[in-house]
Structure 1
């Protein structure tokens, strides 16, 4: 696994570049003013210095983090980090001095007479600043890692509540069928096995096509008990997006449980609104008497929030309709 201490994001480098250029520009301008020179010349040189040091840091540290450090013992990480940080400041100073001379930027005399000494001093300063930024990045990465593991742990906890809930209903149905029709009971057991096999994917988000396959298997299983009175209607075409596992299946299960009317076909429809990135599951069964979510829907609402910053709402009580607002899941883009 790639060590979190080595994980530097592109945004981090943009942040470091901004800090480096602003800090060097202000410090150089102040130095020029104190020495009675034009502050604008100092600003030019400071900007070049900050940019050069950051450029070398980007090249050296990226190479070190991806190529060298993962292959050696952590004992050598600190000495190498010190060396490359110092080298970034040293070479950045020499490069910015050379460019300033080429562009005829007014330089303090010491840069002409003692440029090596100044480069060494700036290299040491670069290491100190780099060490502080390293601690900041590492602490940020560790916090993100802890948050990620918490979310994954919470999701696993929520998902473990789903299979027992489904199995409880399925086993009750099979228990009834055993006394009525042993062949149907055997078919139901095989369907349960197929359904569970299809849902063993450990991913919390799965393709919509896979979720719908699970839903069709689930409806087929329930139709063994309800004698084909459950009809599923899916509006085509549907997008290539990902949804929380068991999300639509749970809504279909809820529709059957609360909406089915004896001796009457229950029609369940699924539609997708691309403009608002939402999925709606509606049925023509019993109207909703309560808008309070039970265990299953509360579970789904929590998983939507964790995975997608999404929500679930009741959008029709007379013809029960539940709408999943899929939020800003990174996976929810057409490919």
Structure 2
């Protein structure tokens, strides 16, 4: 089932991202420059620029700091209430810092009316806040649309995955019921787990769960091929806590079985290894390649391209899926970046 859309606002979360903080600094400095170089300004322009920059950065950065400390409660509010809290905080700090600036730079400002001075500053901050909120809202809208499109593409690609072993495994389980009831039960349980994974459209699972699915798939194929199928694993002692798209490694192993074991007369070995570095996780799957059996079927390329596209969407095109053919060997290399996926 798809998740229900959240009613929580996204303004505060966007504000604490790198773009949000950068936008805060850029907007405040732009306003300071416009005010300092205004034709109606008086006094030393550079001193005015320093004062305006100090005042605006003080207001906005203090607001960001207060909001960050209160983010645990604020993120639960709707967008409307987040805008109200942000505007109220900015106006309150503007009022307080106006008194501070006026007391420190009283010679620079010739204020006839304190109320007019406060009202002018608060009006400027309010207008800037409105523009800033509008900018963040547009950015959030585009980001949500982009995520929705990516999820739709992932769903479409995942829907095209139709593991061929499902049909063969059903036949295997049916045959086992006549010879070994316990083995048939284990085969059906493994098949159920793999079928459930195939229906997890576009979702991510932990690497340990994906490896468990791969091992269940191999156990199914071993009932089918017997001693002809030999799989050699080389994994780290501790499996990294990594989320990957569901059914990423399993189809690669399935290809290795279909095109490395099935054509073999006496069986074959499949090598599966994982290597961890500071920047990436690398998986290498190697299977025999038989020249006398002809070129690899087109379905192999389609399956690899499907996985490549899903990885591109999931990892923002920072993952790699490479294939190489050597003398009697076909190798698939999967490189995943060490990034936290949101």
Structures share fold, TM-score greater than 0.5: yes
* SS of alignment partner, residue 237 of structure 1: coil
In structure 2, the CA distance between the partners of 1:147 and 1:168, relative to structure 1 (3 Å rule), is farther
From 326, 330, 335, give the equivalent of 2:336: 326
| CA RMSD, Structure 1 to Structure 2 (Å) | 3.5
The 1-side partners of 2:188 and 2:282 are apart by 34
* SS of alignment partner, residue 247 of structure 1: coil
The 2-side partners of 1:215 and 1:195 are apart by 9
The 2-side partners of 1:48 and 1:234 are apart by 61
The 2-side partners of 1:114 and 1:28 are apart by 19
Q: How does 1:91-106 map to 2 (within 5 A)?
A: 91-100=96-105, 106=107
> Aligned residue for 1:270?
272
From 3, 7, 11, give the equivalent of 2:13: 7
> Aligned residue for 1:222?
221
* SS of alignment partner, residue 109 of structure 2: coil
Tell me the alpha carbon deviations over residues 101-145 of structure 1, each in whole angstroms, 9 at most, x when there is no partner: 5xxxx51322xx434321211101111111111111011111111
From 315, 320, 339, give the equivalent of 1:311: 320
User: Which runs of no fewer than 5 residues in structure 1 stay unpaired?
Assistant: none
Q: Which moved more, 1:317-326 or 1:92-101?
A: 92-101
Quote how far apart the aligned CAs of 1:227 are: 1.4
Q: Which moved more, 1:182-191 or 1:234-243?
A: 182-191
Q: How does 1:1-335 map to 2 (within 5 A)?
A: 1=6, 2-10=8-16, 11=18, 12-24=20-32, 26-31=33-38, 34-35=41-42, 37-58=43-64, 67=73, 70=76, 74=80, 82-100=87-105, 106-110=107-111, 113-162=112-161, 165-174=164-173, 177=175, 183=181, 188-196=187-195, 204-237=203-236, 239-240=239-240, 241-260=242-261, 261-275=263-277, 277-286=281-290, 289-290=295-296, 293-308=300-315, 309=317, 310-317=319-326, 318-327=328-337, 329-331=339-341
In structure 2, the CA distance between the partners of 1:291 and 1:140, relative to structure 1 (3 Å rule), is farther
TM-score, structure 1 normalization:
0.80
User: Which runs of no fewer than 5 residues in structure 2 stay unpaired?
Assistant: 1-5
CA contact (8 A) 1:53 1:93 kept: no
Task: Count matched residues.
Answer: 322
Tell me the alpha carbon deviations over residues 236-262 of structure 1, each in whole angstroms, 9 at most, x when there is no partner: 326513333212211111011111244
Structure (1 or 2) with the greater helix fraction: 1
